[in-house]
Structure 1
Amino acid sequence: MKSIIAIIAAICLFASSTLAFAPSTPRAVVSTRAVANPTSLGVFGNRKTEAQKAEEAEKASKFWQGEWVCKDCGYIYNRAECAGMYFEEQGPGFRCPQCSGPRRRYAKKVGDRVGTTLDGGDAPILLFSFGGLIATIAFGIWAVQNL
C-alpha cells in the first residue's frame, strides 16, 4: 500500500514539475496545406509552378553562369555558402570567405583561364606605381644636379 502511494506521489510530483515549464496560455496550431501541383519538386518538397520556374530561369540568365574566382587565394564563389545570392547581387562590402579579400579581387573564370576583375584588373595600380617610380627617379636626378 505504501509503495502504491509512493508511486502516485512520484507521478504527481513529476507531472507538476513538467507543467511548471509549460506556457501559460496554449497557442493555437495553424495548419496550412500546399496545393498539389503536378510540376517538379523543389527544396523540402515544395512544388514549383511553371511560372516560378520560368522566373528563376529568367533571373539566372541575367547573371554570369560560370565561376567567380578570388584572385588572391583561388576561392571559387559558391552561392550555397553565400545565402543563395548570385555574385553580382553581393554588395560592395562583400569579402572573400576564405581570405577576406575585397569583392573587386574576384574575376570571371572561363575554362582554365581567369579573366579581369570588375574594376579593370591591376592595370591602374601598376600604371600609377610605375609612374610614381619614374617621377621619384626623375626628382632624385634633378635634386642631385641642382644641389
Structure 2
Amino acid sequence: MMKSFLLVLFAVLASNAFAFAPAINSPVKSRSVAAPPVTSLNVFGNKKSAASKAEEEEKESKFWQGEWVCADCGYIYNRAECAGMYFEEQGPGFRCPQCSGPRRRYAKKVGDRVGTTLDGGDAPILIFSFGGVFLTILFGFWAVNNL
C-alpha cells in the first residue's frame, strides 16, 4: 500500500518536472524580418509646425514637470518607459513596473523631499489597524466575562 502510494506520488512529481522541459527533436524555425521602408521622415526626422509645437508646450504645462516616485519601492516614473505618457494620463489600472504597486501609491518629488501619495499616505491603514486591534482586545475581555 505504501509502496504503491510512493510510486504514484513519484510519477506525478516526475511528470510535472518534465512538463516544462524543452522538446528534444523540435526543429527551430528562423524568421526573417523585413526592414521598414526608408522615407524622408526616417532620415530627417518629423518636422513640426509652430502650431503643433505650441500645442505640445501647452500640453506639457498642464502636467507635473517634476518626478513621481513610488512610495513602496522608490521607483521614479520614467515617461519614456511608459509609452511616452505623462503620469497623470495613466489610468487607474496602472501599476508600478518594479513592485506592482497601485497608481495611488505614487507621490510627487520636489528636490529631495517626497510629498504625500495620491491616497493620502499610510494614515488610514494605521488608524484602521490599531482600531481593529483595540476592538479585538475589547471583544476578548467581553467574551471572557460573559461566557
AA of the residue aligned to 2:127: L
Q: Counterpart of 1:125 in structure 2: which amino acid? A: I
Q: TM-score, normalising length from structure 2? A: 0.67
Q: Which runs of 5+ in 1 are unaligned?
A: 1-31, 35-43
Deviations 1:25-59 (A, max 9, x none): xxxxxxx878xxxxxxxxx6222222111111111
Partner secondary structure for residue 115 of structure 1: strand
Match of 2:100 in 1: 100
Question: In the TM superposition, what are the counterparts of 1:1-147 in structure 2 within 5 Å?
Answer: 45-147=45-147
AA in 1 matched with 2:94? F
Structure 1 residue matching 2:116: 3-state secondary structure? strand
* Secondary structure class of the residue paired with 2:108: strand
3-state SS of the aligned residue for 1:121? Answer: coil
- Which residue type is aligned with residue 59 of structure 2? K
**Cα distance in structure 2, aligned partners of 1:130 and 1:114:** 26
Shift of residue 70 of structure 1?
Answer: 0.8
Amino acid across the alignment from 2:76: I
In the TM superposition, residue 78 of structure 1 has moved relative to its aligned partner by 0.3
Separation in structure 1 between the aligned mates of residue 49 and residue 130 of structure 2, nearest angstrom: 57
1:79-138 CA deviation, whole Å, 9 max, x = no partner? 000000000111111111111111111111111111111121211111111111111111
Q: Matched residue pairs, number?
A: 109
Larger radius of gyration between Structure 1 and Structure 2 = 1
Paired with 1:62 and 1:130, the residues of 2 have a C-alpha distance of 40
Cα distance in structure 2, aligned partners of 1:63 and 1:97: 21
Q: How much has 1:145 moved relative to structure 2?
A: 2.2
Q: How far apart are the structure 1 equivalents of 2:144 and 2:115? A: 44
